[in-house]
A and B are shown apart, each in its own frame.
Chain A
Amino acid sequence: MIERQKFGNLIPHVVLCIGVLIVAFPVYLAFVATTQDTATIANGQMSLLPGDHFLETFYRTLFIGSSGTTREPVFVMLFNSFVMAMLIAVGKIAISIISAYAVVYFRFRFRMTIFWLIFITLMLPVEVRIYPTYKIAADLHLLDSYAGLTLPLIASATATLLFRQFFMTVPDELLEASRIDGAGPFRFFKDTLLPLSRTNMAALFVILFILGWNQYLWPLLITTRDDMQTIQIGIRKMIVTSDALTEWPVVMATAVLAMLPPVFIVVVMQKLFVRGLVETEK
Chain B
Amino acid sequence: MQKQSVFHSRLLPYLLVAPQLAVVLIFFYWPAVQAVIQSFLLQDAFGLSTAFVWLDNYRDVLNQPDYFDAVVRTFVFSFLIALSSLSLALLLAVMADKPLRGSAVYRTLLIWPYAISPPVVGVLWVFMLNPSLGIIAHGLRAIGVDWNPLLDGNQAAALIILAAAWKQISYNFLFFLAGLQAIPSSVIEAAAIDGARPARRFWTIIVPLLSPTIFFLVVVNIVYAFFDTFGIIDTMTRGGPANATETLVYKVYEDGLLGGNLGGSAAQSVILMGIVIVLTAIQFRFVERKVNY
Contacts and interface: CB of A to CB of B under 8 A. Distances in A.
Interface residues of B, number: 96
A2 B125 CA distance: 41
B205 to A, nearest CB: 12
A129 B29 CA distance: 10
A11 B29 CA distance: 53
B280 A33 contact: no
Contacts of A152: 23, 27
A195 interface: no
Instruction: Give 8 nearest A-B pairs by CB, closest first.
Output: A132-B31, A214-B117, A262-B115, A102-B16, A106-B13, A12-B95, A155-B23, A216-B231
Contacts of A137: 27
Mostly, the B contact residues are helix
Contact of B280 (A9, A23, A43, A122): A122
Given A107-B6, A123-B276, A176-B5, A42 B133 contact: yes
Interface string B16-37: 1101110111111111101100
B19 A3 contact: no
A214 B28 CA distance: 21
B230 A216 contact: yes
Interface string B185-227: 0001100100000100000000000000000100010000001
B117 A19 contact: no
Interface in A124-164: 124-125, 127-133, 135-137, 140, 151-152, 154-155, 160
24 contacts: A9-B98, A16-B92, A16-B95, A26-B125, A26-B128, A29-B124, A44-B133, A48-B135, A98-B16, A99-B17, A108-B14, A123-B280, A127-B227, A127-B249, A128-B227, A128-B272, A130-B252, A175-B5, A184-B7, A217-B253, A232-B120, A248-B127, A262-B117, A277-B114
Contacts of B178: 274, 278
A281 B217 CA distance: 10
A272 interface: no
Nearest to A266: B115
A243 interface: yes
A259 B117 contact: yes
Contact of B115 (A43, A118, A255, A265): A265
Q: Which of B116, B192, B220 has the most A CB atoms < 10 Å from its CB?
A: B116
Interface residues of A, number: 98
A129 to B, nearest CB: 5
A121 interface: yes
A55 interface: no
Nearest to B1: A168
Contacts of B121: 26
Contacts of A130: 252-253, 256, 269
